[in-house]
Structure 1
Amino acid sequence: MTASLLTLDVKGAFDSVLPGRLIRRLREQGWPTNLVLWIASFATGRSVQIRLDGEIGPSTDIACGNPRNRFGYADNTANLAISTSLTTNCEALSDLLQEALNWGAAESITFAPDKYELLHFSQHKADQDPTCTPLVKARSITISENTKRLYLRWLGILFDKKLTFKWHVRETASKALTVANTLRSLGNTVRGAVSACVLYKAYYGAETWWPGRTQPGPSQISNRVGEHLEKLTKVILTGARAVLPVFRTTPKPVLYRESGFSPPEIELDRIALLATVRLRRLDPYHLLRRRAEQIASNSRQTSRFARRTLALPNSEQINPLQYAPWHPREPRGNAQAQIGAPMGRTKEQAAANFMAFQRTIPSSDIVIFSDGSRLADGRAGGGYIRLQAHHQFLHSSLLYGHGKEVFNAEAEAALAGAQAAIAYPTAQFATNLWICLDNLEVVIRLLSPSTGSSQEIFESFRTLAAAWPLRKRLPHIKSGSIQIRWVPGHAKIPENEAADLAAKEGAASIPPAPHKSLYASLKRYAKTQSLSAAQSQWQKVAPQSYQDLEITTSPKRPGKLQLNRLDLGRIIAARTGHGDFADYHERFNHDDAYLLCRCKAQKASLHFFFCYIAKRRAPRLPGPPSEVISFLLGTAKGTRKLASWLAETRFFEGICPRQPLLST
């Protein structure tokens, strides 16, 4: 099979919008009036001012649309044709181009001729030479492959004929490296700047081009991405050096660990996995969702996209369009006030207030206390108790198995408790049904439109709430409603403690048969995979000095990055041995280095701990040297204490300076 890609770009698309036509079409499509009016206001009477170095330039009107012609609206488009030959592809693309030109003529839209691009994909050697491949023709327009540039740019991705993406990685890595070197030259660079300015460029579009190091399966066939990883490794390490004040010889594993940046392969795998997770939150009409559903139904790993899709466990599919963004929503502050949220109160105050409120609930009303729990092995459970007339009537433990977070278990337990209450015969005596639980987010969302994890559960709860007033009840009993109330957790409220115990019992039960995971659980899975890979890699490459200090973890955001730059550099030097130390200078033949401390001992990575001058200035922590040193250099809390001690003693300024102090 062969494929051919043709891209078009409307000339001046954004500048050629006619507000009148745009608004008319929005109304025809049924968009809300308030949104249409907002767009109409935004598209008319616009002006711009340029601000540079504190100076503001004159106001300039922005013309939206061309008053002499009628224009529609379009942007970049791409047409893909697949068949057994490139000639057949070009015939199909020629027809598509003709249709686009006809439509453009009818709508007074002009396509930018310099933006036409064509690229053929084929495994046949005869199809690799762009001077010999077939053309796309429509009217007087002829489009051929670019003979000077071996790739096509679309939406910022450079597609080459063999889909190796080597040109894309080469360009993005080069731009990212330039930024990283600039940041490194500035000094005192924060980690966030590198993440935003360097990593974003380096990994742009990775969901599209990263195939993984090897193809899945027992054969472990290489995807030949070593060159990609080499280029990106140089970028990431340069970014790490911009963040960390370290010597040039500092080992690469240390740069990754101390900066919190992952090696490129781990980060690329994480990006690809998160992109696959997001498939479960696409709207029902999205092409990728439809494609993923088709793949799930036939379970055939025929493509990279299919392999990624099938690698994830079966899970819920969320519909983000079930409620439009402009759907009326209750302000969060109002919702918190209605449910008795803490809103600045201490736990003790909130518990006292809740128990006082609980005494005001009529005895005929039904009160459900529900809770969720998740064990260390990933099993989740829920539980609830039912009270009426000050007596406990129901106690239920629910096992949900794996694939759910505490948030999901809390929502399901609340729904299960409400379902049991409405079905119980004594519901005919109750006016209101009270649902009490200690997860604030679940409490707020139970009666609100949901487009997040456990969407089906929240929708079921809303349906149940609508059905409560219609239940069978005695003639003198009012219809009432379902009321939600937040209760402070672990505050010695007996009913809530009972629900918590029921949830823990449910989680500890024998797991049920496999079922769908929830979206929140997929996100945890993706995060865990990345952290696990980073941890496994660190354990393989950790330098001996780090092993001796029992530094066994590789955190995403190391706490010591909060230290000032001088202290951070000194602590990393002490950990690695790559610093202003006698053995380091001797190893690299630094003839001009000063090797002695004022106490006449040679400089060493741990000399700060044993220097008698420093000990006279300020006492160090008591305890065996091996334990104290491991604490000071191997833990975040210890590094802060060490930084304070070094500042108090002025160890590196006045006791063990880099160069001998001038005599006064």
Structure 2
Amino acid sequence: MATLLRDPDIGRYDILAIQEPWKNPFDTTTHHPAKDQFHLCYPDKDQTLPARVCFFINKRLDHSRWHFEEANRDLGSLNLRLGTEEEQRIMVHNVYNPTQTATERGSTLPLLGKALEQLSQHEQIIIGDFNLHHELWGGDRVQRADPNAAELITIIEDHCLTSNLVPGTITYEERDGRTTIDLCLTTAGLVGRLIQCEIETNMDHDSDHLPIVTSLDLNIVKMMAKPRRNWKALDEKTFTRVLQRELPPQQRPRTKTALDRHVEEVMVALTVAVEEAVPTTIPSSRSKSGWNEECAKVLAQSKRLRRQHSLYHTEETWEAYRTARNHKGRTIKKALRQNHRERIEEASQSPTNLWRVAKWARNRHNQSPNVTPALIDPATKQQANTPNEKAELLRKTFFPVPPETNLEDIENANYPAPITMPPITTREIEEAIEESSPFKAPGPDGIANKALHIASPWIKHHLTKIFNQSLALGYYPEHFRQSTTVVLRKPGKDNYTVPKAYRPIALLNTTGKIMEAVIAKRLSYIAETHGLLPDTHMGGRKLRSTEHALHLIIDKIYDAWNTGQGKVASLLLLDVSGAFDNISHARLLHNLRKRRIDERTVKWIGSFLRPRLTKLSIDGFTSEPYRLETGEPQGSNLSPILYLFYNADLIEKCGELEDTMTTGFIDDVAILTWADSTKETCKKLQEALHVAEKWAATHASIFAPDKFQLTHFTRTRTRIDVEEPLQTRWGMIEPKKTCKYLGLIMDSTLTWKQHIDEVQRKVTKTVNALGSLGGSTWGVTMREMRKIYKGVAVPQMMYACSAWSNANWRTTDKPYTERTLSKLQSLQARASRVISGAFKATSIPALDIETYLLPVELQIFKHNVNALGRIGPGDHGPTEGETRRNKKSPRRAIEQSITDRQGPNIRRQEHITPYIVPPWWQGPQTFIEASIEEAQARHEQIIQDELDAIHIYTDGSGIDGSIGAAAVCTTTQETKSVYMGDETTSTVYAGELQGISLALQIAQEDRSKGNRRSKVAIYTDNQAAIRSTARPKGKSGAYLLKNITQQIDELRTQDLNTEIRWVPAHIGIQGNEDADRAAKEATGWREGGLTGPRAVEPQQLYPLRSTMKTWSHKGELIYGHDILATRA
């Protein structure tokens, strides 16, 4: 099959019917190198055994006019619709009938007869390998007919079938054996349309079964290949030239109609620029990856000798053919292997392509098929076969008519005072465009984010006025409402004939998504700053992760265990069916007003939500537009934050019940209760469910009780009844020993054995995938292989390890069992051998050092301390009086570990807030020139021209493990410096930020003295500090950035603007040299030098320094020298 599907002439055929296809060990289907040219239709009902028939359907056939039906792994049928009348159909049956000697012998003929009978009103074609001998089709060569051939003859007679091959045509040939067992049968109505039915020797690729070509005179609708935009070949000069020519003048539309018209004008300008600057590509049907001239040459030689052997059938012709065939196999295998290696090496040169290749390697066993199987309507049990029928069924599933919503409380509702927001700024739009992924799939208008990135300098002011007028009018432009909804498989489902095994993803027009991103960031900011959402609502929020939600639940479970004689905690995980698609718009807008969102934004969101037009895209087919009146698009930046406001009441009201805590992660809701017995916890869960049902009735939401999970957590062996079920109005929910929440498998005793086993399975798959990306002489380099391992396998291994790695505090410094550590070390050792090519007997410590990978135990420690820094310690830290009977929660265990290691107090580390400034904050002007020469020349020009400005140079420096910061003002001849602490508590980056703060302090003092300056000009040699100051975000150094922003705002109120410029270091700029010297002196490096108070310690500094120090010490014990110094 490898050579057949790469044959340049294979594209001439519309349908390939294959029997006994090769079983792909990395996939659930078969080999498919022609994905750009053929749809693969592969039976998958029986997952235990591979299918023995499949179709490859040329993509030029209109997919709306055919569909695939599978009976079992030995019989598949293709339903072809001809012309325009529904009755004009042809059924093509692909059959494999096992041999009489096969161990799993079971004739396919009864099933074939049944299929022919059911479809007798249509013309039919039967092709396949029947493994039966009879003179009717085998001719005089057949000396003894198979007894089972009578059954096939009966089918032929009952349905008036005609065998189109000349009797005696050899279809199977193996050295000394030649026979006819492959047939092509048609009903009477197709006999007159037959053009050709014979052996096609030119398509013979050394199978023992000879290829049969059948041509019929049929009128099948074909599709033209759709060209695609090659965005990576975009001509930026042409694009900008055309865009500047086509862009309309900036306007401020006063009406909705005028706004739609102006938006359309801007979109047309972008579209024209795209058409002229972005080339289109149509994949060549004759282009086959890995196929070269040598492959074609040996294939032709093998075919020629095969024909000679068929003619003469001598020992000499067979030997010549066998030798050529084996040589062809080796040559093609070598060429394909070389092509794979070249593609891997080429991909490794680009970071983006490297991760794509890594993703392919991990998912190669689970590639989605090209064709969606027939879907079954759960209500009527009818099959949806055609793309139109599938699209309609999926539309009803994705966008159902929501239940009636109780909106009585909305009428005459009183709302608190709203939080006002200023107009959208150009900087917000620039940032939203920069943060968008350049090559993500565009919406219906075909304008990718890459075009917006290049167009930003010319369209940002147009978009600023458009977006602000859109807000002012409370109207979302018509162009932005259109979308294409792509249907994707949910991974890991058992049955893909069920519509709910698929999910919709909306591809929205990218320009509209920019505005959605701006509004989403604003909503997020005011929600965090003003506390508009419940504290236990975790998903979709800055500085909150799944580990936050998990530790909230686990801490409460341990608290329950440590209360009295030990309580039991019961966890109920809820599932909302179609959460995003069943949103009541009126209720969402009410919730937004109730939580103080301003009326202008609420009205705009109402317009954004309804009505929308979308087309469903499935298997290359695009439906007619559907009008959506409910829900919100999955794929919009706004959808997650809006849903947080939508179900915030559910989290709050359930959490208000006694001995109950509710957490949410967007639409995943967990209710935890605790009591002395499971009967009591179930009673409390019933109360919580009653509250949840009331919420659902007012929010048009439907729970999916079949997906609820109930688990009772206790380490008491007999006192607690862990089998107590939960009685609900949907029936009994039986408890399980494990539940999966946010990707973590939680067992009832929190010992995590099942989760560790799952981690081992996932990481093993990833490590196995690494082997396909390189070897000792080819492929991805060791450095890049290590990068893939650290970027893919380590996060899989360490996910939520702050929870599962701290359940065994029975021995000092051993929070996890030896079994757990041994499993993880074994996984990393396997990866290290793949990365480095080391021998199997190489020790684990040596592997870690040679591949420069942190040992697993240090990975765990580093992750745990980082997690505690992000999440924060619990409400009550470990106490000296803690009894031995009490059980430590993972969070308390980590804090105790830090204390035992005599590290810093975790409570004194830097506190980072989600936002430092509002999204609309106007920061200082910043300038970073493209080269050192340009920066130096620009600096000299400014010093000469800007005589009225105050010029200040800043620097941060580290010497002998100490950090200092300084600012030198050449205008006032003033210097300020400060000691930041040693390298265990501060960084040079923090010193650079502190230097800018000192510069602003000098400017403030100068202004207070009555000096009038045109501006504040600050020069620094650290580009990271400049970028952070321009757009402050919640990360390391946040407290310094907060001071800087306050200083900039204070100067702005005094009509003094700030600009920060990059100057290259150590090239003779006097102010920079002076600042560098002052910063070094601030570290106290001079004899008798003074140091000041320490700076606030960054969160990630201690775990990084501590793990590196421990690892370096281990390296010295093994190698006798500092491994980190050697690596440097």
CA distance in 1: counterparts of 2:1064 and 2:951, whole angstroms: 16
Where structure 2 has 5 or more consecutive residues not aligned to the other structure, the ranges are 1-565, 632-642, 648-665, 883-887, 899-904
Pick from 522, 538, 551 the counterpart of residue 1099 of structure 2.
522
2:967 and 2:1075 in contact (8 A); partners too:
yes
Matched, 1:11 2:577: yes
Within the candidate set 814, 821, 828, 1:236 is matched to 828
Cα distance in structure 1, aligned partners of 2:1039 and 2:1075: 23
What does residue range 599-618 of structure 1 map to in structure 2 within 5 Å? Answer: none
Once the 2 structures are TM-superposed, how far is the Cα of residue 173 of structure 1 from its aligned partner?
Answer: 0.7
Q: 2:915 touches 2:1033 (CA, 8 Å); kept in 1?
A: no
- Counterpart secondary structure, 1:238: helix
Q: CA deviation at 1:164?
A: 0.7
Q: What residue identity is the alignment partner of 1:45?
A: L
* Two-structure CA RMSD over aligned residues (Å): 3.9
Aligned to 1:251, which of 820, 839, 843?
A: 843
Q: Distance in 2 between matches of 1:525 and 1:400?
A: 15
TM-aligned CA deviation for residue 207 of structure 1? 2.8
- Which of 930, 935, 951 is residue 350 of structure 1 equivalent to? 935
Alignment correspondent of 1:359? 944
Partner of 1:40: 608
2:1127 and 2:688 map into 1 onto residues whose CA distance is: 63
User: Which structure 2 residues correspond to residues 103-118 of structure 1 after superposition, within 5 A?
Assistant: 103-118=695-710
1:371 match: 955
Which of residues 320, 323, 327 in structure 1 aligns to 2:914? 320
Residues 351 and 488 in structure 1, CA contact (< 8 A), matched pair in contact too: yes
Tell me the distance in 1 between the aligned counterparts of 2:866 and 2:1010: 48
Q: Which residue of 2 aligns with 1:207?
A: 802
The residue aligned with 1:102 is: 694
Give 1:57-96 correspondences, 5 Å limit.
57-58=621-622, 75-96=667-688
Checking the alignment, whether the CA contact within 8 Å between 1:365 and 1:429 is kept in structure 2 is no
For the residue of structure 1 that corresponds to 2:1099, the secondary structure is helix
Q: Match for residue 560 of structure 1? A: none
Alignment of 1:187-198 (within 5 A): 187-188=774-775, 190-198=785-793
How many residue pairs get matched?
Answer: 501
**2: distance between equivalents of 1:376 and 1:224?**
37
| Aligned-residue offset at 1:317 | 1.4
Distance 1:24 1:256 in 2: 57
Q: Please state how far the C-alpha of 1:158 moved relative to its aligned partner.
A: 1.1
CA distance in 2, matches of 1:185, 1:386: 58
Residue 395 of structure 1: which of 975, 984, 1006 is its match? 975
Q: Are 2:727 and 1:137 equivalent residues in the alignment?
A: yes
Cα distance in 2 for partners of 1:114, 1:318 equals 41
Within 2, Cα distance between the matches of 1:38 and 1:375?
58
Distance in 2 of aligned mates of 1:242 and 1:39: 55
- Superposed CA deviations along residues 188-243 of structure 1, whole A, max 9, x for unmatched, are 3633444455333333322321228757xxx7164352111122222222222333
Instruction: Answer whether contact 1:367 1:386 (CA < 8 A) is retained.
Output: yes
Which digits, 9 at most, give the CA deviation of each residue in 1:404-429, with x for residues without a partner?
A: 22222222233233324433488423
Distance 2:1099 2:794 in 1: 24
Which TM-score applies when normalising by structure 2?
0.40
Letter in 1 for 2:680: T
Q: 1-side partners of 2:621 and 2:1113: how far apart?
A: 55
Shift of 1:170: 0.8
Cα distance change, pair 81–182 in 1 and its aligned pair in 2 (3 A): same
Q: Deviations over 1:321-356 (max 9, x none)?
A: 3445x54667xxxx7xx544222x22x453343133
Mark the CA change 1:371 to 1:12 in structure 2 (over 3 Å): closer, same or farther: same
Provide the C-alpha distance between the structure 2 equivalents of 1:200 and 1:230, rounded to a whole number of angstroms: 18
Alignment partner, residue 380 of structure 1: 963
CA contact (8 A) 2:572 2:672 kept: yes
Partner of 2:1079: 503
Structure 1 Cα separation of the partners of residues 720 and 1048 of structure 2: 64
Q: Decide which moves more: 150-159 or 230-239.
A: 230-239
Which entry has the higher C-alpha Rg, 1 or 2?
2
CA contact (8 A) 2:958 2:964 kept: yes
The answer to whether the 8 Å contact 1:44/1:64 transfers is yes
Aligned partner letter, 1:398: V
Amino acid at match of 1:321: Y
8 Å CA contact retained: 1:184, 1:238: no
Shift of 1:553: 1.8
The answer to whether the aligner puts 1:411 opposite 2:983 as a matched pair is no
Residue 467 of structure 1 is matched in structure 2 by 1050
> Which of residues 147, 151, 160 is equivalent to 2:738?
151
Q: Is the 8 A contact 2:759 2:797 kept in 1?
A: yes
Distance 2:917 2:955 in 1: 27
Q: Secondary structure at the match of 1:429?
A: coil
CA distance in 2, matches of 1:257, 1:212: 28
* Contact 2:803–2:890, Cα closer than 8 Å, also in 1: no
User: Would the aligned equivalents of 1:380 and 1:406 in 2 still touch at CA under 8 Å?
Assistant: yes
Distance 1:178 1:497, change over 3 A: closer
SS in 2 for 1:414: helix
Which structure's relative contact order is higher, taking Cα pairs within 8 Å and 6+ residues apart? 1
Q: How far is the alpha carbon of 1:504 from its aligned partner?
A: 0.9
Separation in 2 of the partners of 1:275 and 1:399?
29
Q: Is the 8 A contact 1:15 1:64 kept in 2?
A: no
Name the SS of the counterpart of 1:82 in structure 2.
Answer: strand
- Alpha-carbon shift at residue 456 of structure 1 (Å): 3.4
2-side partners of 1:369 and 1:354: how far apart?
12
The change in CA–CA distance for 1:207 and 1:59 in structure 2 (over 3 A counts) is farther
Counterparts of 2:1022 and 2:738, CA distance in 1: 52
Distance 1:431 1:222, change over 3 A: closer
Aligned match of 2:768: 181
CA drift at 1:25: 4.7
Match of 1:169 in 2: 756
Correspondence 1:490 to 2:1070: no
* TM-superposed deviation, 1:7: 1.5
Counterpart contact for 2:583–2:700, Cα < 8 Å: no
8 Å contact 2:825–2:844 — kept in the other structure? no
**Contact (CA 8 Å) 2:615, 2:625: kept in 1 or not?**
yes
1:456 aligns to 2:1039 (yes or no)? yes
Match of 2:501 in 1: none
After TM superposition, give the deviation of residue 167 of structure 1 in Å: 0.7
Q: 1:468 offset after TM fit, Å?
A: 3.4
For residues 299 and 482 of structure 1, what CA distance do their matches in structure 2 show?
52
SS of aligned partner of 1:201: helix
Normalized per residue, the structure richer in strand is: 2
Gaps of 5+ in 1: 280-288, 472-478, 556-633, 637-664
Give the C-alpha shift of residue 90 in structure 1.
2.6
Q: Which residue type is aligned with residue 375 of structure 1?
A: I
Compared CA separation, residues 223 and 277, structure 1 to 2 (3 A): closer
Q: In 1, distance between residues paired with 2:602 and 2:673?
A: 41
Partner of 2:436: none
- The alignment partner of 1:45 has SS state of strand
Q: How far apart in 1 are the matches of 2:716 and 2:808? A: 25
Amino acid at match of 1:468: L
Partner amino acid, structure 1, of 2:830: T
Q: Give the ranges of 4+ consecutive aligned residues of structure 1 lying more than 6 Å apart after TM superposition.
A: 60-67, 71-74, 296-301
Deviations, residues 52-80 of structure 1 (Å, cap 9, x unaligned)? xxxx455587897879xxx9767221111
1:156: how far off? Answer: 1.5
- Quote the Cα distance in structure 2 between the aligned partners of 1:554 and 1:506: 28
Does the aligned pair in 2 maintain the 1:437–1:496 contact within 8 Å? yes
Identity among equivalent pairs (%): 22
- 8 A contact 1:431–1:481 mirrored in 2: no
Mapped to 2, the partners of 1:460 and 1:437 lie a distance apart of 18
Given the two structures, how large is their TM-score scaled by the length of structure 1? Answer: 0.65
8 Å CA contact 1:438–1:488 kept in 2: the answer is yes
